Amino acid sequence: MQIMWKTESISIDNEVEACYLINKQSPFSVVRTRNNMKRTISTFFSEQYKTIGLVSPASLPDADEVQATVSFLEAHGHRVILGEHALETGTDPYCCSSIEGRVQDLNRMISDSAVDLIYCTRGGYGSAQLLPFLDFELLAKRGLPVLGYSDISAIHLAMLSRRAGIPVVFPMAAGLRKAMEDDATAQYLASGWDVPQNWILSQVSGELRVREPLTGTLIASNLSLLASLCGTPWLPSFEGAILVLEDVGEKLRILDRHLTQLMLCGILSQVKAVVFGHLTDCQTKSGQLHLLRKFSSLTHKPFFHGLPFGHEAPRMILRSGMQCSICAPDGRKRKVSLSI
């Protein structure tokens, strides 16, 4: 498969073509030819998302990487509006701009009728600070997609709680160039967030076998962010949900602390299953599996791992709030299928 940052199209080998499900709801402009599949240069996102609003709700992004993404999107037919404070040094060294500046940028994009999609530049820290001041009522009326992950989980969870907009797990704008260097990630980007998808996962323990399909609302989040919002009015209902989690750079005891928080506040008792993506730089894989097995046993809930979601390649696209199901195909031990 040939993937280049500034080529006019992406061609996919015939063997891979069967893995794609392209329809009018795909966020990319895609055409199918007799011998291959190409993403055309007309637009990067579909034509319904002509104007992209770039904002920095959390930490300060790399200005050169943001400009590279702006140039890329403009070359592919989009108009890009960069938030006034999106590249502004913060009053706190770990945040972009000020709370007021970041709120102003986000609310401006929500209220600007020309903006079709809001794209966050970077995670880090700071998104939760904005929640009391964002216009979720207008976002609900406009139904705008908001793209990002990691710290942006705070905004995504609040969107679900307010039934406002479309929360989409997507590589950050300041990291798009690097994300597209990975072939598998580029394939996920081409598949879109409303196209049916399927992944094979591994169950961490065989004690709780999946005998009947588990169906529920998919809620995706960074684990640390979710734990930090416990006890606030910004979380959605987790009753019957499939909870999807990832994290980065945490010691196992900190992950244990966060999962204990979710258990004690009742979230883990409400969900049907917990699915883990990448736990990047979170000590050893064996230690991670031991931790997940422990909490699966403590909560009597099935835990799974192996979803390409998080801070390392490959990175998938997920629309939080969609219905999904987990089932065990062909009776395979500890192997299940997650379908969206």
What is the Cα–Cα distance from 21 to 326, expressed in whole angstroms? Answer: 20
Identify the pLDDT of residue 332: 57
Identify the pLDDT of residue 304: 95
Mean per-residue pLDDT of the chain: 86
209 three-state secondary structure: coil
Catalytic residues, by residue number, are: 150, 246, 311
E strands of 46-183, at which residues? 51-55, 79-82, 117-120, 145-148, 166-169
The two tokens of residue 154 are 């705070």
What is the Cα–Cα distance from 72 to 304, expressed in whole angstroms? Answer: 36
pLDDT in tens, the chain (340 residues): 333 333 333 333 332 222 222 223 334 443 333 344 334 334 678 888 999 999 999 999 999 999 999 999 999 899 999 999 999 999 899 999 999 999 999 999 999 999 999 999 999 999 999 999 999 999 999 999 999 999 999 999 999 999 999 999 999 999 999 998 999 888 888 777 777 788 888 999 766 677 788 999 999 999 999 999 999 999 999 999 999 999 999 999 999 999 999 999 999 999 999 999 999 999 999 999 999 999 999 999 999 999 999 999 999 899 999 999 998 866 555 678 888 7
- To the nearest 5 percent, what fractions of the chain are helix, strand and coil? 35, 25, 45
Q: Which of 34, 337, 298 is nearest to 215 (CA)?
A: 337
Identify the pLDDT of residue 305: 95
Sign for the CA dihedral angle at 200, 206, 211, 214 comes to negative
Question: In sequence order, what are the residues at sequence separation of 6 or more whose Cβ sits closer than 8 angstroms to the Cβ of residue 236?
Answer: 157, 160, 161, 219
* CA 10 and chain centroid, separation: 23
What is the Cα–Cα distance from 41 to 16, expressed in whole angstroms? Answer: 21
- Give the global pTM: 0.87
pLDDT digit string, tens, across residues 141-171: 999 999 999 999 999 999 999 999 999 999 9
Identify the pLDDT of residue 46: 81
pLDDT digit string, tens, across residues 287-328: 999 999 999 999 999 999 999 999 999 998 999 999 999 988
Neighbours of 328 (CB within 10 A): 18
Identify the pLDDT of residue 334: 67
**Exposure letters 183-192 (e unless 16+ CB within 10 A, then b):** eebbbbbbbb
Identify the pLDDT of residue 39: 40
